[in-house]
Amino acid sequence: MNEINKLPTKLALIRDQLIDEAYGRKAAFPKSDKLWDFYEWLESSDAYLFESEQEEYYDLTIDASYQGPDDFSDKEIISEGFCEPEEINDALRIQYVRNYIDALAEQEQHYVFSIKIKNDNNEVALIGGTAQCNGQGSDTVNWVYGAYKTEDEFRKCFESDDLNGISDEEILKRYFKKNRK
């Protein structure tokens, strides 16, 4: 890595604390401005990200825009022309959300990513989060607090958010709890 993109000393200390957390040597790193400085530096240092090992998990379908339960409604289904008002039922609500999930998976605009960080002792940990591609090279990044020793540990952060295996009952509960007729 060239000197221009080398991790500054104060941020290297934060990286080392995150690795210590992943290895169980320290308690969770507190949410702080220092941690945000570290994340912001990673986001702005393209050379660092390019030279580090970054992984994207397209097998996890995550809605990084955080579309909430209030964003799906019978009114939206009708206004989108998905069906007529008298046709709305739970089966159509479920199909509407499944179409949305399929569109997310196809677009690959919402994704989970991890970055391997390594300290001077060659210990490696994973940090990362979700991102939403906004085009023209800019992504909206939502970092997951903490660091993880293995990929499996990192992926577990997203199991409850992975929309691939969501049940019909969970769709109705999560997205239409307040908005059903």
pLDDT tens digit sequence for 153-181: 888 877 666 777 788 988 888 777 655 55
- C-beta of residue 128 within 8 angstroms of C-beta of residue 144: yes
Q: Does residue 79 lie in a domain region?
A: yes
CB neighbourhood size of 8 (10 A): 11
pLDDT of residue 50: 45
pLDDT of residue 87: 92
pLDDT of residue 149: 93
Q: Is the pLDDT of residue 48 over 90?
A: no
Question: Tokens 């800019």 — which residue?
Answer: 138
Q: Is the pLDDT of residue 66 over 50?
A: no
Q: Which long-range contacts (CB under 8 A, 24 or more apart) does 82-90 make?
A: 88/181, 90/168, 90/172, 90/176, 90/180
Partnered with residue 118 across adjacent β-strands are 124
Q: Does residue 29 lie in a domain region?
A: no
Q: Does residue 17 lie in a domain region?
A: no
Residues in the chain: 181
Q: Structural domain tally of the chain? A: 1
Q: Which long-range contacts (CB under 8 A, 24 or more apart) does 28-32 make?
A: 28/145, 28/146, 29/145, 29/146, 29/147, 31/145
Q: Which residues are within 8 A (CB) of 75 and not within 5 positions of it... i.e. 6 or more apart?
A: 179
pLDDT of residue 1: 41
Q: Does residue 45 lie in a domain region?
A: no
What SS3 class is residue 139? strand
Q: Does residue 112 lie in a domain region?
A: yes
What average pLDDT does this structure show over 125-150? 80
pTM: 0.64
Q: Does residue 10 lie in a domain region?
A: no
- Domain containing 101 equals 54-175
Q: Does residue 28 lie in a domain region?
A: no
pLDDT tens digit sequence for 76-133: 888 888 889 999 999 999 999 888 877 766 665 667 888 888 899 999 999 988 877 7
pLDDT of residue 121: 93
78 to 4, 92, 176: CA distances (angstroms): 54, 11, 14
Q: Which residues are within 8 A (CB) of 105 and not within 5 positions of it... i.e. 6 or more apart?
A: 58, 61, 164
